[in-house]
Structure 1
Amino acid sequence: MPSHGLGLAPRLRYLAGRARRIDVGSVFARARESARDHGRWMPAVLVDMLWSAGFRQVGFQDYVDYDFAILNRAERETYMTHPVSNQLSQKYDHPDFRHIFQDKIEFDRVFSDFLRRDWMVVEPGNRDAVRAFVEGHGTVVTKEPVGQAGTGVHRYRASEVEDWDAFHRGLLERGELLIEEVIRQHADLAAVCPGTVNTTRVTAFFDGRQTHILAIAQKFGRGAVSDQMTFGGFYTMLDDDGKAVGPGYDSHGHVHERHPDSDFVIADFQLPMIEQVRTFVDEVARVVPQVQYVGWDIVVTPDGPVLVEGNWGAGVYENKPSVTGIRTGHKPRYRAAIGF
């Protein structure tokens, strides 16, 4: 595929925005963390981190998460970073269609055929419908229409609701307007963490003809309603066959060779139905072809993959060298598929 480039102007605008919002204390803290973890001299790490951010499009947290302090230049060049991913999102995700992915209710409407679970919208006057839905499913998840990183997601059990008028009124007041049936995950996922629905993040690019899978990360929760890091979750990268490449980790310095609750060895994880997952991602990527670069969150159930959400700002999930021993990332795959 010919190179399209990402352009200098978007890069300069991104850097200018970052410079205006820079938290000096946070940068120093990250530099100290990286220097401590890898036995490096902190001032040298700080200078390298700032230089990498300014000239190599490496986010400060990227530098820490992907162990740039121990990588050489060639190894660093193989890593996808958040600044580059942001530019891809801005270029390949048409602004007229991004709202479909930002509004969870609109997303459920457009992708209803791929959710494969019941859902409804909370509205004034539909208390009885809400009660019937919650009692019918026993346990439900509610979502605020706009949220990220697991914020605005809640779990309720019908047996714990004493006043349905107050429950319905509370949902409206808090903006928890979307209710969904809880997903029943595959036994291989439940074996790692049964208390959380563990999602698979598949980052993909649809070029108008073919869907290219760029990276696959498996997220694991800690029993909360979400598997996001804000709820104590972590992830591991998967290879093309759906096999974990090593232990799990997060952006807070935690490494999990075993799941803290189930004692499951993370490196032994194998995502079930990997071929069905590939087919499924290709199908959902064609629903809104104007949004080409997406991070799809899916869950493998006993009956096959189901869709949780799509993120037009795909974010980045990458390999961590100090945990896996693998010192290369996924950027070459992005380049081959997208041509930048």
Structure 2
Amino acid sequence: MPRKGLGLAPRLRYLAGRARRIDVGSVLERAHEAAEEHGKWRPAIVVDMLWQAGLRNVGFQDYIDYDFAILNKAERATYMTHPVSNQLSQKYDHPDFRGLFQDKIEFDRRFSEHLHRDWMVVEEGNADAVREFAQRLGTIVTKEPVGQAGTGVHRYHATEIEDWDAFHRGLLERGELLIEEVIVQHADLAAVCPGTVNTTRVTAFFDGETTHILAVAQKFGRGAVSDQMTYGGFYTMLDDSGRAAGNGYDSHAHIHEFHPESGVRIADFQLPMMDEVRAFVDRVARVVPEVQYVGWDIVVTPTGPVLVEGNWAAGVYENKPSATGIRTGHKPRYREAIGF
């Protein structure tokens, strides 16, 4: 595929926006963190972070998360970063169709056949329908239509609800308008953390003919309703066979050789049904072909993969050298598939 480039103008606009929003205190704090962790001189780290941000499209948090302080130039060049990912999203995700991915209700409508679970919308006057739905399923998950990083997601048990009219009214007032059946995950995922549905993030690019899987990360929760880092979750990268690359980690300097609650060794994890996962991602990527670059969150169940959501602003999941010993990232795969 010929190299299309990301264009100079979008990059300059992005850099200008970052310059306006720069938080000097945050940069210094991150530099101190990297200097302490890797035994480096903080002023040198500050200069390097600013240089990488301005000239190499490396976010400040990318610099910390992916241990850029200990990587050489060639190794750094293999890492996908958030600024580059943002430019890909802006170029390859058509703005007229992004709303289908931002609104969880609209997403469920469009991708309903790939959810493989019941769902309903909370509206004025349907308290009885909400009660019937919740009592039939026992436990439900509610979501605010627009949210990110796991915010606006809640879990309720029908046996704990006494006043259904008040419960229904509360959902409306809080904007928890989408109710979904709880996903039953595969036993291999439940063995790591049974209290949270552990999602697999598959970052993919659909070129109009072929779906290219760029990176796969396995997220693990800590018993909360979501496996996002805001709930204490962490992740590890998976190889093409679905095998964990090494220890788990997050953006808060926590590295997990073992899951803190279950004691399962993260490096031993193997995602089941990897072939089915690849085929499933290919199917969902074709539903809205105008949105080409997507981070798909799926869950492997006993009967196969199911869809949780798609993120048109895909974000980045990458190897962390201090956690896995792997000092290269996935950017070459992005370049090969997308041609930038």
| Match in the other structure for 1:73 | 73
Instruction: Provide the alpha-carbon RMSD of the alignment.
Output: 0.3
How far apart in 2 are the matches of 1:167 and 1:16? 46
How far apart in 1 are the matches of 2:112 and 2:131? 22
Shift of the alpha carbon at 1:209? 0.2
The TM-score, its normalising length taken from structure 2, stands at 1.00
| Match in the other structure for 2:30 | 30
How far apart in 2 are the matches of 1:284 and 1:271? 19
| Match in the other structure for 1:268 | 268
Kindly provide the amino acid, as one letter, of the partner of residue 86 in structure 1.
N
Kindly provide the amino acid, as one letter, of the partner of residue 265 in structure 2.
V
Kindly provide the amino acid, as one letter, of the partner of residue 100 in structure 1.
L
Matched, 1:49 2:49: yes
Kindly provide the amino acid, as one letter, of the partner of residue 231 in structure 2.
F
How far apart in 2 are the matches of 1:317 and 1:35? 23
How far apart in 1 are the matches of 2:217 and 2:125? 41
Matched, 1:15 2:22: no
Q: How does 1:10-159 map to 2 (within 5 A)?
A: 10-159=10-159
How far apart in 2 are the matches of 1:155 and 1:51? 44
Q: Unpaired segments of 5 or more residues in structure 2?
A: none
1:295-320 superposed Cα distances (whole Å, 9 cap, x missing partner): 00000000000000000000000000
Q: Counterpart of 2:80 in 1: which secondary structure?
A: coil
Matched, 1:222 2:222: yes
Shift of the alpha carbon at 1:323? 1.0
Matched, 1:338 2:324: no
Kindly provide the amino acid, as one letter, of the partner of residue 27 in structure 1.
V
How far apart in 2 are the matches of 1:62 and 1:37? 15
How far apart in 2 are the matches of 1:295 and 1:319? 16
How far apart in 2 are the matches of 1:104 and 1:16? 31
Q: Counterpart of 2:33 in 1: which secondary structure?
A: helix
Identity in percent: 82
Q: Counterpart of 1:197 in 2: which secondary structure?
A: coil
| Match in the other structure for 1:314 | 314
Q: Unpaired segments of 5 or more residues in structure 1?
A: none
Kindly provide the amino acid, as one letter, of the partner of residue 170 in structure 2.
G
Q: Counterpart of 2:2 in 1: which secondary structure?
A: coil
| Match in the other structure for 2:200 | 200
1:158-187 superposed Cα distances (whole Å, 9 cap, x missing partner): 011010010000000000000000000000
- Provide the aligned length of Structure 1 versus Structure 2: 340
1:96-120 superposed Cα distances (whole Å, 9 cap, x missing partner): 0000000000000000000000000
Kindly provide the amino acid, as one letter, of the partner of residue 126 in structure 1.
N
How far apart in 2 are the matches of 1:193 and 1:221? 6
Kindly provide the amino acid, as one letter, of the partner of residue 249 in structure 1.
Y
